[in-house]
């Protein structure tokens, strides 16, 4: 009797794992677009550090990503269970922040005469961590939409699996991308086809980093604009039926507009505060 109960338990566990695997596959497919943006953004964020610091920086950002998921998975489950109306506003705040960061980067390109301080390693890690947090939140919300009607244990396991897969996958690829030049250098010292491949990788690596920088910035507007569009009823009703090739540029333009407005508002607030501080510092007339 005990043996039969044990076999029943194993059978139920096997069925549970099979269901979780199937749902995880569906959830992962639905998040592939955002995962691509996540990869481009994070590869661009951690590129540019010295060769000897690439692995430590990637590992530091990956650890922050694991911490983000450890916070986001239970938070997402709690919010979806008790205050689901908060999910969209919180996502929109994150989307607006992505648009703001993208606009700042673009506007910075048009001010080459302004000396900008170099981004130190700690700031780079913090920036990558913030970006990862926003994108991870969107990915988990999308994944949750595929398991909203199933039992709690299924939701917990699916979200956990998606979180682990996306972190290991994204940062594994990021590590590979930023190390392409090192691989190319090692291969170029060999002979024959390996040397040819090594020289090709060395030639491609700088261009790949430039492309990722552009793609990462564009992704900020596309993802941020898409989140905002999804949260504004009339805009989403207009955009949703469109083909992705048509909808993406519209969402990107919305992201550029939102980011530019936020950058402009910050500039105005900064000037007003500076003027107020200047007036306060002046001695009052007798």
| DSSP sequence for 144-197 | HHHSTTS-HHHHHHHHHHHHHHHHHHHHHHHHHHHTHHHHHHHHHTS-THHHHH
Q: pLDDT tens, 114-136?
A: 444 556 778 888 888 888 888 88
For residues 254 and 284, the answer to whether their CB atoms sit within 8 Å is: no
Q: What is the pLDDT of residue 61?
A: 87
Q: How many residues comprise the chain? A: 286
Please say whether the beta carbons of 54 and 183 come within 8 A. no
Highest mean pLDDT among 6-20, 47-61, 124-138: 124-138
Distance between terminal CA atoms of the chain? 98
Q: What is the mean pLDDT of residues 202-218?
A: 80
Give the closest residue to 76 by CA, choosing from 27, 18, 22: 27
Quickly state the pLDDT bin for 268 (edges 50, 70, 90).
Answer: very high
Confidence of residue 258 (pLDDT cuts 50, 70, 90): very high
Please indicate, yes or no, whether the overall pTM of this predicted structure exceeds 0.85: no
Buried b (16+ CB within 10 A) or exposed e, 157-167: bbbbbbbeebb
Q: How confident is the model at residue 264 (pLDDT cuts 50, 70, 90)?
A: very high
**At residue 7, does pLDDT exceed 60?**
no
Q: How much is the mean pLDDT over the chain?
A: 79
Can you tell me the distance from the alpha carbon of 167 to that of 109, in angstroms, rounded to the nearest whole number?
Answer: 31
The larger pLDDT score, comparing residue 82 to residue 145, is at 82
Q: What integer pLDDT is reported at residue 140 of this predicted model?
A: 82
């Amino acid at each position: 009797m005990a043996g039969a109960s044990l076999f029943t338990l194993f059978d139920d566990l096997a069925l549970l794992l099979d269901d979780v695997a199937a749902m995880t596959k569906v959830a992962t497919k639905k998040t592939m677009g955002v995962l691509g943006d996540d990869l481009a953004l994070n590869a661009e964020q951690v590129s540019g550090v010295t060769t000897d610091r690439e692995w430590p920086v990637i590992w530091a950002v990956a650890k922050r990503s694991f911490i983000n998921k450890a916070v986001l998975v239970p938070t997402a489950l709690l919010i979806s269970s008790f205050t689901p109306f908060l999910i969209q506003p919180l996502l929109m705040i994150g989307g607006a922040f992505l648009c703001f960061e993208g606009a700042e980067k673009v506007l910075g390109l048009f001010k080459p005469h302004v000396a900008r301080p170099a981004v130190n390693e700690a700031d780079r890690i913090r920036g990558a961590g913030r970006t990862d947090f926003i994108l991870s939140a969107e990915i988990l919300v999308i994944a949750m939409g595929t398991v909203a009607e199933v039992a709690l244990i299924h939701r917990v396991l699916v979200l956990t699996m998606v979180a682990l897969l996306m972190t290991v996958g994204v940062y594994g690829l990021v590590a590979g991308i930023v190390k392409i030049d090192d691989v190319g250098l090692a291969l170029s010292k060999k002979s024959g086809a390996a040397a040819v491949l090594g020289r090709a990788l060395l030639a491609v690596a700088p261009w790949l980093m430039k492309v990722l920088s552009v793609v990462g910035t564009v992704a900020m507007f596309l993802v941020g604009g898409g989140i905002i569009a999804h949260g504004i009823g009339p805009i989403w009703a207009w955009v949703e039926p469109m083909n992705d090739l048509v909808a993406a540029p519209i969402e990107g333009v919305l992201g550029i507009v939102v980011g530019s407005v936020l950058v402009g508002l910050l500039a105005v607030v900064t000037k007003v505060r500076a003027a107020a501080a200047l007036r306060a510092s002046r001695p009052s007339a007798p």
